[in-house]
Amino acid sequence: MDCNRVFVSKVKRLTIVFTLLIAFLSIKIDTFAQVDSAVVPVDSVVAESAHATSGEHGSEASHGKEKFEPTKVIMEHIADSHMWHLWGHTSLPLPVILYTPGGLEVFSSGNFHHGEHDYNGKYNNYRLEEDHVKVVGADGKVDEEVSKSVLDFSITKNVAAMFVAILVILIVFISVAGAYKKRVGKAPKGLQSFIEPIVIFVRDDIAKPNIGHKYAKFMPYLLTTFFFLLFNNLLGLVPIFPGSANVTGNIALTFVMALGTLLIVNLNGNKYYWKHIFLPDVPFWLWPLMVVVEVVGIISKPFALMVRLFANMTAGHIIVLSLISLIFIFETLAIAPVSVAFVIFMDVLELLVAFLQAFIFTLLTALFIGMAVEEHH
């Protein structure tokens, strides 16, 4: 309960900071994209250098003395892809699904031959440019206008890796559930005894203290969130197929998870929650400011969740890849032991972070739910 109070005060402070930040930025900037370019100049530099070098990618792909570009390699890993790189020059082609004004278009990304060829689809000609599917106009150049009207619903590397994670989760938990049905009232065994403490941890240390007696209703959401993030985080640490995708370090996934939290919190908010937002206990002259702060707080809380998970996971991947890149930057094997030692250290740390981020996301979700369903007497 003590910890609860600390969290509440932290959340309030965070809310105010975010409110001010967003208010400040929204004066001159209207998209988050630009917000980030202002806040994280390093990333933009990284991306720009990636842009600059990508043009030469086609020629570099052919053998010969390649110049090693760590930023490009790292950004390629961090970003999503239409191919699932397996080893060397072997990649697993993934299905491309495009929703064009003309209709649905489905084909294999293998048709692009690593971006070297265009693909003549039913409605348009497509070209893979920086791992984005673009429409090629009649003049042989990318037609940006038409490209914007095409929605990309492809099964990308991240989507495929997420499906793998979901498959693993389903297999694990349905088999565990089967074990419970088979061994009614007996002590857990095997996988069951590994999963059970985590489930009980989520119930007794995340849901119960933060939500209170209404916790049972939110258990499925909290457990699913926790294990979905945990398995995706852990699979992201596996350097070979079917891991290696930076699923939870992708803003789209964290956006969806944060949106889920936003919806479940606000759809379950009781009258006290809404009263706290629209009729706060403050002097009347503070009222307009407080309402704005509280309303922004509704958005900023899940926004913080989204950014935290995304930044943590992406940062971890970038560090590990940078350490590995050291070997190729120095072009000597002598640096390898140092690199590997640091990578092992980082991987162990990332293992902790994988648990920690899943835990924090779930804990804060539970906390927000708790604040929304709390009864005041």
Partner 1 sequence: MDLVTPSIGLVFWTSLAFICLLILLRKFAWKPILGAIHEREQSIDEALNKAELAKQEMARLTSQNQDLMQQARAERDEILKEAKTLKDGILNEAKKQAQVEGAKLIEKAKIEIENQKKAALAEVKDQVSSLSLEIAERVLRTQLDDKTKQEALVANLLKDVELN
Q: Applying CB under 8 A, which residues contact partner 1?
A: 32-33, 36-37, 43-44, 47, 75, 78-80, 97, 130, 151-156, 158-159, 162-163, 166, 169-170, 173-174, 176-177, 180-181, 184-185, 195-196, 199-200, 203, 216, 219-221, 223-224, 227-228, 250-253, 255-257, 259-260, 310, 314
- Pick between residue 13 and residue 217 the one whose CB is nearest to partner 1: 217
Measured from the CB atom, the residue of 17 and 166 that comes closer to partner 1 is 166
Residue 242, preceding peptide bond in cis (omega within 30° of 0): yes
Nearer to partner 1 among residue 79 and residue 298 (C-beta): 79
SS3 98: strand
Beta-bridge partner residues of 152 = 98
Q: Choose among 258, 261, 259, 350: nearest CA to 313.
A: 350
Residue 121 C-beta: closest distance to partner 1, Å: 16
- Of the pair 119, 231, the CB lying nearest partner 1 is at 231
Is residue 272 within 8 A of residue 375, CB to CB? The reply is yes
Is the CB of 16 or the CB of 307 nearer to partner 1? 307
| Cα–Cα dist 276/15, whole Å | 14
Shortest distance in whole angstroms from residue 184 CB to partner 1: 7
Instruction: Say if residues 264 and 369 touch (Cβ distance below 8 Å).
Output: yes
User: C-beta of 325: minimal distance to partner 1 in Å?
Assistant: 18
Cβ atoms of residues 58 and 115 within 8 Å: yes
Closest CA to 362 of 294, 311, 303, 309: 309
Identify which of residues 252 and 277 has a Cβ nearer to partner 1 in the complex: 252
Closest separation between CB of residue 267 and partner 1, Å?
14
Which of 3, 40 has the CB closer to partner 1?
40
The Cα 333–Cα 66 span in angstroms is: 17
Q: What is the nearest approach in angstroms of partner 1 to the Cβ of residue 209?
A: 17
Q: How far is CA 108 from CA 92, 142, 154, 242, 245, in A?
A: 10, 20, 10, 19, 19
**SS3 assignment, position 270:** coil
Smallest distance, partner 1 to C-beta of residue 330, A: 27
- Closest contact distance (angstroms) between CB of 36 and partner 1 is 5
Cα 358 from Cα 352, distance rounded (Å) = 10
- Rounded least distance, CB 110 to partner 1, Å: 18
Helix (H, G, I), strand (E, B) or coil at 40: coil
In whole angstroms, the minimum distance from the beta carbon of 232 to partner 1 comes to 10
Q: Quick count: other Cβ atoms within 10 Å of Cβ 44?
A: 14
The residue with tokens 């920086």 is 130
- Cβ distance to partner 1 smaller for residue 173 or 241: 173
How wide is the angle at C-alpha 336 spanned by C-alphas 333 and 341, nearest 5°? 165
| Beta carbon nearer to partner 1, 25 or 155 | 155
Phi–psi pair at 282, nearest 5 degrees: -135, 160
d(CA 332, CA 325): 11
Neighbours of 146 (CB within 10 A): 16
